[in-house]
Amino acid sequence: MNIILTGFMGTGKSAVGRRLALDYGFSFYDLDDIIAASSGISIKEIFATLGEPEFRRLESEAIERFASGVYGSNCVLSTGGGAVLKKANRDALRHWGKVILLTASVDEILKRVGDGDARPLLAGPDRCEVILRLMAERGEAYRDCDFIVDTTGLSIADVVDKIWACLKEK
């Protein structure tokens, strides 16, 4: 079984993914880390120098590698928040495993992402407005998942338990 965690930035995809993989003996992969390693520059640098369209192209290529089975089975993959915007990416991910959307309230997301500049899409003064706009734009793609787990106010262990309960039901 393969598990894909997606959702908006700050919903816990990477932290939960690492813990989920550790608890259940799966391999963990972070799609952004794979993209950065294969391109030789950070995600922030990709956005700044090559632009979002090039990042999305690299992201789609990485997803296709996963869907082709290169990474095997019993994997947890944490994607970036925009990875599922392209229907072909959603289809490829669903072919490879169960896609789980992690959500959180805007206040929780703001608390988790902090005030730093590590999030290229949140650059600018009104981060709350940007989050609301992006979440609205991504709503349809985000709802096209196998399961939805709200992480607001939950510990990483609690989110892992909720995810595993969803997977056991199906």
pLDDT tens digits for range 112-126: 887 655 555 566 668
Answer left, alpha or beta for residue 115, where phi above 0 means left and psi between -120 and 50 means alpha. Answer: alpha
Alpha helix (H) residue ranges in 1-150: 13-24, 31-39, 43-45, 52-67, 87-96, 106-113, 127-143
Residue 23: which domain range? 3-169
**pLDDT reported for residue 110:** 87
Q: What is the pTM of this model?
A: 0.90
**pLDDT reported for residue 28:** 98
Token readout for 17 is 């993914």
Distance of CA 1 to the CA centre of its chain: 18
User: Which of 162, 155, 44, 158 lies closest to 108, judged by CA?
Assistant: 155
**pLDDT reported for residue 122:** 60
Query: How many domains is the chain built from?
Result: 1
**pLDDT reported for residue 124:** 61
**pLDDT reported for residue 121:** 59
Contacts of 80 (CB under 8 A, 6+ apart): 9, 31, 32, 43, 59
Q: CA-CA distance, 52 to 121, in Å (whole number)?
A: 9
- Low-confidence stretches of the chain (pLDDT < 50) are none
- Count of Cβ atoms closer than 10 Å to residue 147 Cβ: 17
| Residue 20, domain CATH | 3.40.50.300
